[in-house]
Each structure stands twice: as structure tokens, then as C-alpha cells.
Amino acid sequence: MLRRGLLLSCLSLTLLLLLPSPAEARDLRGRLGLGFNNNFSSLTSISVKYGIPTNKETLNLQVQAMVGFAFLKDQDDRFFAGGRVLIPILAEDNLNLYAGVGAGYVRFHDAKQGVRASAVVGVEFFLFGLENLGLSAEFGLNVDAGNQILDVQTTGGTQAAVGVHYYF
């Protein structure tokens, strides 16, 4: 009798856990995200994201501003400041797939300077239990143009293009 009750309890619990629950996308509208990334420059940049208020919670349109610098270490980029628009493609429970376009100012280690334009596809995901912490990864192209400068490279160069933001 006890075995039968335990079996029924386990079966009931399993069925309860398998019931579908309504999906809710991570709503970033009107929220400010502070963090860092190296998606737009070889420098790890301080980053601020803001979710533009829209009519749909799954439409997470964001604007982003970044600044990064290296004064004592000889990096490819010595200073970078720029901004982007992140356009939603797909929103899931704890994941947002997006495309991004942006531009910024870059000063190189050899004192040359120019404009950097970028186009990327990226994903930002949120771990269960850490609903305000977004982890992102991107892939795309950066184009640098300036006096005696024309360069096209994949985002992040030789390192992974990643970011971390905490949303308030």
C-alpha cells in the first residue's frame, strides 16, 4: 500500500513538472543595464544599455553607449567611444536574439584615429535565478575608416566578443 502511494505521488509530481507553462520573454523595456563588453573594440569597454519603451514586452529595442581606454598598455585601440542600436530578432524565456548597428570614434596605438562602424548578430541570456544579470555574445564586422586607415575585421578580433550587464 505504501509503495503504491509513493508511486502515485512520484507519477503525479512528474506530470505536474511536465505541464507547459506560459512563456514570458525577458522584458527589458524601460530598464537600464550597466556593465562591460568588448564587442565593439579590442578594449573592454564600460557600457550602458537602455531598453526603449515599446508596446510589446517581447520587443526589446535597446540603445547602448560605450567607452574604453588603455593609457599605459600598448593595445591596438588606445581609446574608443561609441554607440549602437540593438534591434530584437527573437525573444524567448531567458534569451534575446538581436542584431546591432553602431558607430564610434577610435584612436589607435600609433596615434592614428578614425571612425568605426559595426554590424553584429548577438544573443543575451539570463541564468535561472539571476534574472537581472545579462550575459551576451556577438559576431559581426567592424569597419575602420580614417586618414590612411581602412580596415575590416570580425568583432572582437582574436578574442571572444562578450558582455555582462546588470539591469535595474
Query: What CATH number does domain 25-167 carry, 2.160.10.10, 2.40.160.20, 3.30.2270.10, 3.90.79.10?
Result: 2.40.160.20
Residue 13's SS3 state is helix
Look-up: residue for cell 560605450? Answer: 66
Residue 116's SS3 state is strand
Element (H, E) at 102: strand 95-108
Look-up: residue for cell 506530470? Answer: 15
Is 37 within 8 Å of 49 (Cβ atoms)? Answer: no
| pLDDT per position as a tens digit, 127-165 | 988 889 999 999 899 899 988 888 888 875 556 788 999
Q: What is the pTM of this model?
A: 0.77
Cell digits for 60? Answer: 526589446
Q: What SS3 string covers 59-78?
A: CCCEEEEEEEECCCCCCCEE
Half-sphere exposure of residue 41: CA atoms within 13 angstroms, side-chain side? 33
Look-up: residue for cell 561609441? Answer: 82
Question: Of the candidates 96, 93, 100, which has an alpha carbon nearest to the alpha carbon of residue 47?
Answer: 100
Average pLDDT over residues 91-111: 89
List, in sequence order, every residue forming a beta bridge with 149; answer none if it has no partner.
146
133/150 Cα distance (integer angstroms): 36
| pLDDT per position as a tens digit, 40-84 | 887 889 999 999 998 887 788 999 999 998 877 665 678 999 999
Per-residue pLDDT at 16? 42
Question: Of the candidates 133, 143, 142, which has an alpha carbon nearest to the alpha carbon of residue 161?
Answer: 142
160/143 Cα distance (integer angstroms): 18
